[in-house]
Amino acid sequence: MIEAILEYNFLQNALYSALMASVVCGIIGTIIIEKNLVMMSGGIAHTSFGGVGLGYYLNIEPIFGALFFALFSSIIIVTIRRKTEVHSDTLIGIMWAMGMAVGILFISFMQGYPPDMSSYLFGDILTVTNMDINIMLILVVIVVFAITSLFNQWKSYLFDEEFSYVRGLNTNFYEYFLFILIALTVIVLIRVTGIILIIALLTAPPAIARLFTYDFKKTIFLAIIFGAFFSLSGLWLSYLFNIPSGSTIILLIGITYFILAFLTGKIKCSQ
């Protein structure tokens, strides 16, 4: 496979995108499982499908439409969550379905033969283009810089929002910023695993990492390593057997989680 990677541009792109996806998954995934924002992230991911449809309809790059929708929905979710007493679960459920509905509607408006949406829904790492790589790189740099440059403040905010607020941290800013970072992460992951499978890649690597460490920073690093290992091996398997890359990566990492959780005693068979 090494020669194939050196030879084929599409395999190089697949490799780069898998590595970049692992980095943002390790960082943002760790944050969202600690902050219980998994469903929220799933909601943002699915809402972005509306943007994919819009992109096709307006004949612009669908990933830009998705980026716009993801940012827009994340800001709406935070704002409504802060201002009203609507339960976030309810809100996410509605936005989740609405985003998908908008996407399907736009695509039905298109003249002629409808485009194949499956690479956005289920991911196809082997069709990642050079432009996708450039967009992903920019988003990854933003996410990594945002978290590392304010790491102590993020940690304090994530651990105890009220205390941080009293100490003078602008927790409003951190909350909005976090949701924007989640939106950017979703976009990085769309091409790798697809909208529907994103949640697994965001949660499983940090969940595996948490089986081995009680330290926030180590959780992130381990999650990145696990993510990279599983997405590369998934990529290799999917290339070898010509099966869908997104599903292969997710199943590999999911099964590993359950086996390890069972072995380390986090999940027990009976009382």
Partner 1 sequence: MEESVIEIKNLNVFLNEVPILKDIELKVNRKQFLAIIGPNGGGKTTLLKVILGLIEPDSGQVKIKGLDIKEGRKLIGYVPQISDFDKQFPINVKDVILMGRISDKQGFFHSYSQEDINFVEGIMKDLDILDFKARQIGRLSGGQLQRVLIGRALAAEPEILLLDEPTASLDAESRSNIYKILKDINDEITIIVATHDLSAISSYFDSVACLNKNLHYHGDKNISQDDVDQVYGCPIELIAHGVSHRVLGDHSGDEQHD
Using the structure block, give the residue that is written with the tokens 């980026």. Answer: 67
Site string for partner 1, 100-139 (x = CB under 8 A): ----------------------------------------
User: Between residues 112 and 168, which has the closer beta carbon with respect to partner 1?
Assistant: 168
Cα torsion through 66, 71, 73, 76, rounded to 10: -160
User: Between residues 88 and 153, which has the closer beta carbon with respect to partner 1?
Assistant: 153
Interface with partner 1: number of residues (CB under 8 A): 28
Instruction: Report the site for partner 1 in 135-194 (rule: CB under 8 A).
Output: 148-153, 155-156, 158-160, 162-170
Q: Which sign, positive or negative, has the C-alpha torsion 69, 70, 71, 73?
A: positive
Pick from 176, 216, 221, 229: which binds partner 1 (CB under 8 A)? 216
Instruction: Report the site for partner 1 in 15-34 (rule: CB under 8 A).
Output: 34
Is 220 in contact with 63 (CB distance < 8 Å)?
no
If one counts every other C-beta atom within 10 angstroms of the C-beta of residue 160, the result is 13
User: Between residues 81 and 218, which has the closer beta carbon with respect to partner 1?
Assistant: 218
- The rounded Cα 193 to chain-centroid distance in angstroms is 9
179's CB contacts (< 8 A; 6+ apart) are 40, 44, 74, 75, 77, 78
User: Between residues 133 and 155, which has the closer beta carbon with respect to partner 1?
Assistant: 155
Pick from 12, 88, 129, 213: which binds partner 1 (CB under 8 A)? 213
If one counts every other C-beta atom within 10 angstroms of the C-beta of residue 246, the result is 28
CB of 188 to partner 1, least distance (A): 23
User: Between residues 37 and 128, which has the closer beta carbon with respect to partner 1?
Assistant: 37
259's CB contacts (< 8 A; 6+ apart) are none
User: Between residues 183 and 209, which has the closer beta carbon with respect to partner 1?
Assistant: 209
Pick from 203, 210, 226, 238: which binds partner 1 (CB under 8 A)? 210
User: If we measure between CA atoms, which residue out of 198, 250, 213 comes closest to residue 258?
Assistant: 250
User: If we measure between CA atoms, which residue out of 45, 42, 57 comes closest to residue 104?
Assistant: 57
CB of 86 to partner 1, least distance (A): 14
Using the structure block, give the residue that is written with the tokens 């940012």. Answer: 71
Residue 81 found at the interface with partner 1 (CB under 8 A): no
132's CB contacts (< 8 A; 6+ apart) are 13, 17, 63, 191
CB of 235 to partner 1, least distance (A): 29
Tokens of 190: 């769309």
User: Between residues 145 and 258, which has the closer beta carbon with respect to partner 1?
Assistant: 145
Pick from 2, 3, 116, 214: which binds partner 1 (CB under 8 A)? 214
Binding site for partner 1 (CB under 8 A): 34, 148-153, 155-156, 158-160, 162-170, 210, 213-216, 218-219
